[in-house]
Chain A
Amino acid sequence: MPAIQTAQQILDQVFLDMRAKLLEVAASLDRLDRAPGAEAVANDQRRQRIQKTLEILASQSGNRAEQLQLLFSDTYDEKWQRPGVRA
Chain B
Amino acid sequence: MYYIDPHIHMVSRTTDDYERMARMGCVAMSEPAFWAGFDRGSVESFRDYFRQLTEFEPKRAAAVGIQHFTWLCINAKEAENVSLSREVIAMIPEFLDKPNVLGIGEIGLNKNTKNEAQIFWEHMELALKTDELILIHTPHLADKYKGTRMIVDMLLDDPRIKPERVLIDHVEEHTVKVARDHGFWCAMTLYPVTKCTPSRAVDIIEMVGDDKIMVNSAGDWGPSNPTAVPDLVQEMRRRGYSEAKIKKVVYDNPLEFFRQSKRFKFKDPA
Judged by a CB distance under 8 angstroms, whether B240 is at the interface is yes
Inter-chain contacts of B210 with A (CB < 8 A): 1
Judged by a CB distance under 8 angstroms, whether A20 is at the interface is no
Name A69's contact: one of B120, B121, B174, B203 (CB within 8 Å): B174
Q: Mark B147-187, 1 if CB is under 8 A from A, else 0.
A: 00110011001100000000000001111000000000000
Q: Which of B96-104, B138-146, B221-229, B256-264 contacts A (4 or more CB under 8 A)?
A: B138-146
Instruction: Tell me which of A2, A13, A63, A83 has the highest count of chain B C-beta atoms within 10 A of its own C-beta.
Output: A83
- Interface size on B, as a range, is 35 or more
Judged by a CB distance under 8 angstroms, whether A5 is at the interface is yes
Number of contacting residues on A, CB 8 A? 24
Across the A-B interface, how many residue pairs have beta carbons closer than 8 Å? Answer: 66
- Interface residues of B, dominant DSSP: helix
Inter-chain contacts of B122 with A (CB < 8 A): 83
- Interface residues of A, dominant DSSP: loop
**Chain A 52-84 interface residues, beta-carbon cutoff 8 Å to B:** 63, 65-66, 69-70, 72-76, 78, 80-84
CA distance A69 to B144 in the complex (A): 9
Task: Write the residues of chain A forming the contact surface with B, with a CB cutoff of 8 angstroms.
Answer: 1-5, 13, 63, 65-66, 69-70, 72-76, 78, 80-84, 86-87
11 A-B pairs with C-beta separation under 8 A: A1-B205, A63-B173, A65-B173, A65-B203, A69-B144, A69-B173, A74-B142, A74-B146, A78-B153, A83-B117, A83-B122
